[in-house]
Amino acid sequence: MSIPEPTVHDPTDTQLLGLSLQLVVGVYASPGDALRADLEGGAFQEAVALAARPAGLTAPDLDVPPWRTLQTRYVDLFVSSPNGLPAPPYVGYAVDGELLGPTARRLKAFYDEHGVTPNGAWGDLPDHLAAVAEAGTLLVEAGRPDAARTLAARFLLPWFERYAEPVVDADTSGFYGPMTRFLHAAIKEVTREAAVHGS
């Protein structure tokens, strides 16, 4: 048996990782002006297409609803719903079934180890899916894609593994379901190497 020489990451791998994390931030943060501008101007759809090609994925055909409908569907899926919340957007809850449990503590330890400081203006729990993805984008921008990939493998992928199908099943917007299915596949792709190395 021969052991292959270590390989240098292809820059497109890092670009795909960063773009996938940015898309997670855009989709799962509370829908605001930036997302609206990106959807209306076509930048969001362009970013999805750019992420799809190197990952070998097909960009979803998005049927973006009116803005107010998109905001309402976000609340129904991720904030509050009279029928029960299909997908709490907290990575710790996806693993532990509780808020601020062991996974949230491991995430904080990961942040401390890698010098990531959550934004003080962030108004939600620190293990919110969008906040974790934002931390990953900061690591990519700091030239630390391996740490970002490990973060995505340990904390983002378990959320998608648990909640991707419930979001797809519950979504009526034509946006969150297709994007969740796409981002689940993209996060699996960008974390494949981290999973192989046991990160």
Least confident of 92-106, 115-129, 153-167: 115-129
CATH level 2 (architecture), domain 12-196: Orthogonal Bundle (1.10)
Per-residue pLDDT for 32 more than 60?
Answer: yes
8 — pLDDT class (breaks 50, 70, 90): very low
182 — pLDDT class (breaks 50, 70, 90): very high
Query: Taking the complete model, does pTM exceed 0.85, yes or no?
Result: yes
163 — pLDDT class (breaks 50, 70, 90): very high
* DSSP assignment of the chain: --PPPP-PPPHHHHHHHHHHHHHHHHHHSPP-HHHHHHHHHTHHHHHHHHHHHHHT-PPP------HHHHHHHHHHHHT--TT--S---BHHHHHHSSTTSHHHHHHHHHHHHHT----TT--S-TTBHHHHHHHHHHHHHTT-HHHHHHHIIIIIHHHHHHHHHHHHHH--SSSHHHHHHHHHHHHHHHHHHHHHTT-
Residue 128: phi and psi, rounded to 5, are -60, 140
137 — pLDDT class (breaks 50, 70, 90): very high
4 — pLDDT class (breaks 50, 70, 90): very low
Residue 90: phi and psi, rounded to 5, are -115, 125
| Residue 183: C-alpha distances to residues 81, 97, 108, 188 (Å) | 23, 22, 24, 8
pLDDT value for 197: 43
CB atoms within 10 A of CB 18: 19
pLDDT value for 181: 96
Q: In terms of residues, how long is the chain?
A: 199
123 — pLDDT class (breaks 50, 70, 90): low
Task: Dump pLDDT digits (tens) for 34-70.
Answer: 999 999 999 999 999 988 988 788 999 888 889 999 9
